């Protein structure tokens, strides 16, 4: 195989949300996430308790570094000298710091991998806003400009689906199930989860041409994974909602859904796939591994949670294929029928009305409009909230 050319694009930037890596970083991180909203510090301390429960550390940065290590090794193996950089929206290493270093290193055209497979404002368009801010930072500091190409959504890529199925097979094996297709779904229930968003945000996802793109992509990916496993009867539930109680969000909530499953009296085990999350972070380790696990234990129901797939070899190969699509013109591999947009230039959205933020701009944080994918701190105690 001929090594891909790096003449057109001279770097890859992994762009993510960020998270604290020590107790002393929790409050500054939350202040960054909620900047401009006047949230009292005492309230932020309440929100921070979920982080302190885990030593003040979100696993997200560590897992993103592992993704980068896997990518660097895979690139070297095929003789590709493309350098990989790492930048976050809300914590070190900040995206602005990363692109400043890229510019100093001579990077002029970069590919951006956002750590999200999906469409929607939080899952896709907000990364375009990040790119716009990155370019503004370069200009303000008098640094050479960089042109950015953001890679497309990959919710239905065969390797993404295969990784999810492999993770679920391992999860089923932990409860003694060799063939997921052979189990009684009323006793051992498969539940896919993804980050809930306001109904209005989902309606705006995809714009007028393809509304509700986010929830439809989640449903299609769940179907594709279940088909690979041979499982015909499963559920899709939502998690990590936040904000004012009067605003409708996608339902059912996964904990509430577990309660509804108990009515039949035959449920013994739930197998949970955090389909909407590329890597573990607070929504996974708290909302699923803690809150949902506690609810299952109280109901005397067994629970096993499938691993997120960012560290799987299939995901590494997936990213290489996405790179080849834009660098070599290879044909995109897809299993689904819904739009998989998101490939953008220099932060310009796919279309003017695509995935707009339905929330008022004055609720913004980190220099951006408020959105369903940040750590909201109104209503009940909230978590690090992001679709990834």
Neighbours of 337 (CB within 10 A): 9
Q: What is the pLDDT of residue 370?
A: 31
Taking the C-alpha atoms of residue 337 and residue 58, their distance in angstroms, rounded to an integer, is 35
Q: What is the pLDDT of residue 37?
A: 72
Taking the C-alpha atoms of residue 242 and residue 387, their distance in angstroms, rounded to an integer, is 13
Q: How far is CA 202 from CA 225, 251, 317, 357, 365, in A?
A: 22, 12, 30, 10, 20
Q: What is the pLDDT of residue 359?
A: 63
Q: What is the pLDDT of residue 7?
A: 56
Flag whether 9 is marked binding.
no
Taking the C-alpha atoms of residue 385 and residue 329, their distance in angstroms, rounded to an integer, is 35
Residues 6 or more apart whose Cβ sits within 8 Å of residue 253: 196, 237, 238, 239, 241
Backbone phi, psi, residue 272, to 5°: -110, 130
Flag whether 195 is marked binding.
yes
The angle at the Cα of 292, spanning 193 to 172, to the nearest 5 degrees, equals: 65
Taking the C-alpha atoms of residue 322 and residue 152, their distance in angstroms, rounded to an integer, is 8
Taking the C-alpha atoms of residue 15 and residue 150, their distance in angstroms, rounded to an integer, is 10
What predicted TM-score, i.e. pTM, was given to this entire model?
0.90
Q: What is the pLDDT of residue 386?
A: 38
Contact 129, 340 (CB under 8 A): no
Q: What is the pLDDT of residue 378?
A: 34
Residues 6 or more apart whose Cβ sits within 8 Å of residue 336: 155, 156, 217, 220, 221, 224
Residue 143 in tokens? 């640094």
Flag whether 388 is marked binding.
no
Length of the chain: 388
Strand ranges (E), 245-335: 269-273, 302-305
Flag whether 368 is marked binding.
no
Give the closest residue to 315 by CA, choosing from 173, 151, 171: 151
Q: What is the DSSP letter of 130?
A: H
Q: For residues 208-228, b (16+ Cβ closer than 10 Å) or e, as one string?
A: eebebbbbbbbebbbbbbbeb
Taking the C-alpha atoms of residue 137 and residue 144, their distance in angstroms, rounded to an integer, is 11
Domains detected in the chain: 11-154+312-363 (3.40.50.1400), 158-305 (3.40.50.1400)
Residues 6 or more apart whose Cβ sits within 8 Å of residue 289: 305
Q: Give the residues of the chain that fall short of pLDDT 50.
A: 1-5, 361-388
């Amino acid at each position: 195989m001929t090594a891909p050319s790096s003449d057109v694009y001279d770097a890859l930037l992994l762009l993510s949300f960020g998270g604290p890596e020590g107790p002393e970083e929790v409050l500054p991180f939350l202040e960054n996430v909620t900047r401009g909203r006047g949230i009292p510090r005492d309230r932020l301390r309440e929100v921070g308790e979920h982080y302190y429960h885990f030593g003040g550390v979100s696993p997200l940065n560590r897992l993103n570094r592992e993704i980068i290590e896997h990518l660097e090794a895979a690139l070297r193996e095929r003789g590709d000298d493309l350098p990989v950089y790492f930048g976050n929206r809300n914590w070190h290493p900040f995206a602005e710091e990363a692109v400043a270093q890229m510019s100093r290193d001579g990077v002029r055209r970069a590919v951006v991998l956002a750590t999200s497979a999906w469409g929607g404002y939080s899952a896709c368009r907000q990364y375009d806003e990040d790119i716009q801010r990155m370019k503004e930072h370069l200009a303000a500091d008098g640094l050479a400009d960089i042109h950015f190409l953001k890679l497309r959504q990959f919710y239905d890529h065969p390797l993404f689906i295969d990784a999810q199925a492999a993770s679920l097979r391992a999860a089923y094996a932990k409860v003694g199930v060799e063939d997921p297709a052979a189990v009684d779904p009323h006793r051992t229930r498969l539940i896919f989860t993804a980050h809930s968003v306001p109904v209005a945000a989902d309606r705006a996802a995809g714009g007028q041409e393809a509304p509700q793109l986010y929830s439809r992509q989640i449903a299609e990916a769940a179907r594709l994974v279940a088909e690979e496993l041979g499982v015909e009867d499963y559920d899709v539930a939502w998690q990590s909602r936040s904000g004012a109680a009067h605003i409708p969000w996608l339902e059912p909530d996964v904990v509430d859904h577990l309660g509804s499953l108990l009515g039949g009296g035959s449920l013994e085990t739930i197998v949970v796939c955090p389909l909407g999350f590329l890597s573990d972070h607070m929504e996974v380790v708290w909302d699923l591994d803690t809150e949902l696990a506690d609810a299952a234990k109280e109901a005397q129901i067994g629970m096993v949670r499938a691993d997120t797939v960012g560290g799987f070899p299939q995901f590494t190969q997936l990213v290489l294929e996405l790179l080849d699509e834009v660098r070599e013109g290879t044909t995109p591999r897809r299993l689904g029928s819904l739009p998989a947009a998101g490939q953008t230039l220099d932060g310009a959205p796919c279309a003017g009305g695509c995935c707009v933020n339905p929330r008022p701009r004055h609720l913004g944080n980190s220099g951006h409009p408020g959105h369903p994918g940040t750590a909201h701190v109104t209503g009940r105690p909230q978590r690090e909230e992001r679709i990834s």
